[in-house]
Amino acid sequence: MNIAILTSGGDSAGMNPAIKRFIEYSFELGLTPYLVYNGLEGLIDNEIKKATSKDASGIINRGGTVLKSSRSKRFFEKKYRKKAYENLKKLKIEKLVVVGGDGSFRALNAFYNDFKMPFVGIPGTIDNDIHGSEYSLGTDTALNIIRSAIDDVRDTASSFRRGFVIETMGRDCGYLALVSALTSGAEICLIPELKADMKSIKKRLKKEFAEDREYLIAIVAEGTHEALNLTKWIEKEFGVESRLTTLGHIQRGGTPSTFDRLMAYEFVTYGIDALLKGESGKIVVYRNAKVDLRSVAYVTKGKHKLQPELLKQAKKLMS
């Protein structure tokens, strides 16, 4: 049986460990693995080649994806999805594994509806915004990068008695910002999911500055679009010189953490096993400390929500 893998959408640490596991596990099972380069665009343009053991060598420690990636507008047109399907059929590829995020899964949902091509999706996005899953590949590595940056910024904040606002990625999901704020001892956190009570924040911090607080750290999710405004607000309300640090794409790179490598192993193993058992059109998810499957329709039609426990903790930093 021929089986292929591709990575799509934004890159994330954990994609390369997933590719490695896909190749090696396919060989273990007697399958013939194929690699699709440049994501969904590569599927359309027939950038597909048979994998060798060498393709799995020396990639587990690398961030990003050796298969490259893309965001394909063409794939949302049926004529290009048909072309992609024909490319797979010519190579007699019967199963497909896709590592990506919400946009990639929506594209695959349309592909599945058109041609019933058996596939499983593996969550791979630092935003951690896949509906039905509490974790996506790359999230843990991104959190470690953010934590390290905050620790470094704190040194300067304390040395100069400044306020620092650090903007994290995450699109419309505040997971990275919230978890980073909770685990770095930040004084303020702004996320799209909850409205901040700025009057209460001001009252709380005014009291702390009166009791010899010398600096503060604020973490802001990019989806709030409030990082610059908060920087100016801190300077105005508390009279401390303030700086904005936008971490940007460094959060998507870096050597995959141990946890991301382990989850890549588990996700891919579970996904391939599911395909061989006849499952299709499913996304591998992680819930309640267990790996499971959800239909692609369920994942793409629902809206991701932060865990209630995290939102409860968030209120302490937003009031």
pLDDT in tens, 30-74: 999 999 999 999 999 999 999 999 999 999 999 999 999 998 999
Q: Which domains does the chain have, with CATH numbers?
A: 2-138+256-302 (3.40.50.450), 140-252 (3.40.50.460)
- The DSSP output letter for 61 is T
DSSP E strands in 256-310: the ranges are 282-287, 290-295
Question: Does residue 212 carry a catalytic annotation?
Answer: no
Question: Which one of the listed residues 45, 102, 127, 260 is annotated catalytic?
Answer: 127
Q: How far apart are CA 86 and CA 94, in angstroms?
A: 12
The continuous run of DSSP H or E covering 265 comes out as helix 258-276
| Pair type for strands 188-190 and 216-221 | parallel
In DSSP terms, which residues pair with 99 in a beta bridge?
7, 122
pLDDT at 154: 94
Rounded mean pLDDT of 199-204? 97
To which residue do tokens 């400044």 refer? 162
pLDDT in tens, 268-294: 999 999 999 999 999 999 999 999 999
**Cα angle for residues 109, 111, 116 (degrees, 5° grid):** 95
**How far apart, in whole angstroms, are the C-alpha atoms of residue 312 and residue 317?**
10
CA contacts within 13 A on the Cβ side of 46: 9
- Average pLDDT estimate for 211-226: 96
- pLDDT of 161 reads 87
At residue 304, φ and ψ (nearest 5 deg) are -65, 140
Q: What is the mean pLDDT of residues 115-126?
A: 96
Question: What pTM, to 2 d.p., does this model score?
Answer: 0.95
Structure tokens at 128: 């951690």
